[in-house]
Structure 1
Amino acid sequence: MRKAVGIGGLRRKEAERLALSRKGNELAQREIEKLQEQITLMKSNLEAFVREHQKEIRSDPVFRGKVQRMCQLIGVDPLVSRKGYMAELLGVGDFYCELGIQIIDICVATRSINGGLIDLDDLRQRLIRKRIKGSEPIAEDDIKRAISQLKPLKSGYRIISFGTRKMVQSVAREMNPDNSTVLALAQYTCKFTVEDVRIGFGWDMDRIRSCIDDMLRSGVIWVDDYDAVQPEYWVPAFFSQMSGSSLGI
């Protein structure tokens, strides 16, 4: 028969438990302090690295993207840290502000043509043509970062995907799932017909017509009714080969 544990034994066990808990907390706190020291050292080393390679960072968009990802890994946002200190070191504060303004200019100038939807690569090419000769090269990642800085404007600027295509939307309008599905269907040919949608997805005519009418109203698609029986619907945002010069931008 087991002997009952007395009051003294219970107190000893509670004291041991509390002692172990305190010791565990002390060890955990030491580990946290060591980790914080390591992160502080890494941030200091990163700042030194950025100072040393400023010229390369500003001139090489691929290298710039890698450095920015290093910043993110250790919890440093170059655009907000220490009131722009890292942004100044990286030379990206004014760069992204200027790039964001140019993105808005291009999106507004082309909105009447593409309904506020422009191919990401098309936008990049237009930006390259628009920027002053000798300006820093720009990469897709630069455009994504510049667009992320436009969020406070609440004007709908965001990057969305249709199949393999990445597009920049510049209007505050949600793209419903049916619209996205049909646009993905046209990602390679830049066009579709009612029959393409019916065969591809098995939708009834009411659903197809509702989807098409919605995109026609918003200007995302154009209709070519040369064939009155089977008109074709074109997606101008997919015309990456369209000449920006013909649009005056």
Structure 2
Amino acid sequence: MPPGRRPGRASIREDVRRREEMAKRGAMISAETAQHMKMQLRTFSTKLEQFAIDHKDEIQRDPAFRAKFHSMCASIGVDPLTSRKGKWSDLLGVGDYYYELAVRIIEVCVATRPTNGGIISLRELVSALRIRRTTYTENVSSDDVERALAKLNVLEGGFKVMMIGHRKVVQSVPVELSVDHTNALAISEETGYISASALREKLKWEKERIMTTLRFLLEHEIAWLDLQTSEPTYWILGLMSGSSTFT
């Protein structure tokens, strides 16, 4: 078009027509792509169901295999634990597995709470679950416990997994632990206890901050006070191996 000359009506209509045609073509391609993806997911889901049927015994028996199966399910948005009754529960019994495991977790946490104040290491919890083996806890793993605990969140009873130092622990009481509390607990990771001097040396805290933290741990029965030593010692039984006995 020559410089300075405005486009005519025919040119404008042609441009609009081309734009509309491109928009329709783009929408058609998007719809075809979405449909293709749905078909792929449907095919994958069908194959996953067949895989579950073929490997049902391994999924129920082997914790590592079970964890990999959950990863496969997550990749297509399938949650076998959503309901106790349903297709996946019928295929694998996994709904019943995690329901039973959640009940056992509650039993162990409640039974050991007077000793550990509702803080127990994940490893210790798994060991306690294995002491009295049942159909659903014979081969329980840390991954199984974390999945079952995720389902307990709906109860709002304080059940959650958290990191203290380099260790995963399970908290089973609705008490909000501050950064100071978890930092103090982390000091006990190697020895099983803390003291005012240890907190002062390792965390560089002032006396008031130290005593506030220690009082909180005592009041919530997370720590046990030992006065038979040269300096008051605060034992964190929930982080000590073998301390949270359950029979």
Per the shorter chain, which TM-score range? over 0.9
SS of aligned partner of 2:218: helix
CA deviation after TM superposition for structure 1 residue 128, in Å? 0.6
TM normalised by structure 2 equals: 0.93
- 1:148-197, Cα deviation, whole Å (9 max, x unpaired): 12122111111111111111111111111100111112111111211111
Q: Distance in 1 between matches of 2:200 and 2:160?
A: 30
CA deviation after TM superposition for structure 1 residue 124, in Å? 0.4
Q: Residue 113 of structure 1 is aligned with which of 97, 115, 131?
A: 115
Aligned 1:87-166 pairs, distance under 5 A = 87-132=89-134, 136-166=138-168
CA deviation after TM superposition for structure 1 residue 8, in Å? 2.8
CA deviation after TM superposition for structure 1 residue 89, in Å? 1.3
- 1:180-226, Cα deviation, whole Å (9 max, x unpaired): 11111211111121111112222211111111111110011111122
Aligned 1:21-100 pairs, distance under 5 A = 21-80=23-82, 83-100=85-102
Aligned 1:216-231 pairs, distance under 5 A = 216-227=218-229, 230-231=231-232
C-alpha root-mean-square deviation of aligned residues, in Å?
A: 1.8
In structure 2, do the counterparts of structure 1 residues 81 and 24 end up closer, same or farther at CA, with 3 Å as the change threshold?
Answer: farther
Aligned to 1:237: 238
In structure 2, do the counterparts of structure 1 residues 134 and 10 end up closer, same or farther at CA, with 3 Å as the change threshold?
Answer: closer
In structure 2, do the counterparts of structure 1 residues 179 and 60 end up closer, same or farther at CA, with 3 Å as the change threshold?
Answer: same
Range that drifts further, 35-44 or 147-156 = 147-156
User: Which segments of 5 or more consecutive residues in structure 1 lack a partner in the other structure?
Assistant: none
Conserved? CA contact 2:115–2:237, under 8 Å = yes
CA deviation after TM superposition for structure 1 residue 10, in Å? 2.3
CA deviation after TM superposition for structure 1 residue 23, in Å? 0.6
CA deviation after TM superposition for structure 1 residue 2, in Å? 3.4
Aligned to 1:188: 190
Whichever residue aligns with residue 209 of structure 2, its letter is R
CA deviation after TM superposition for structure 1 residue 87, in Å? 2.5
SS of aligned partner of 2:86: helix
SS of aligned partner of 1:74: coil
In structure 2, do the counterparts of structure 1 residues 96 and 134 end up closer, same or farther at CA, with 3 Å as the change threshold?
Answer: closer
Conserved? CA contact 2:118–2:172, under 8 Å = yes
User: Which segments of 5 or more consecutive residues in structure 2 lack a partner in the other structure?
Assistant: none
| Percent identity (aligned) | 34
TM normalised by structure 1 equals: 0.92
In structure 2, do the counterparts of structure 1 residues 27 and 50 end up closer, same or farther at CA, with 3 Å as the change threshold?
Answer: same
Whichever residue aligns with residue 237 of structure 2, its letter is P
Q: Distance in 1 between matches of 2:115 and 2:136?
A: 30
Count, aligned residues: 245
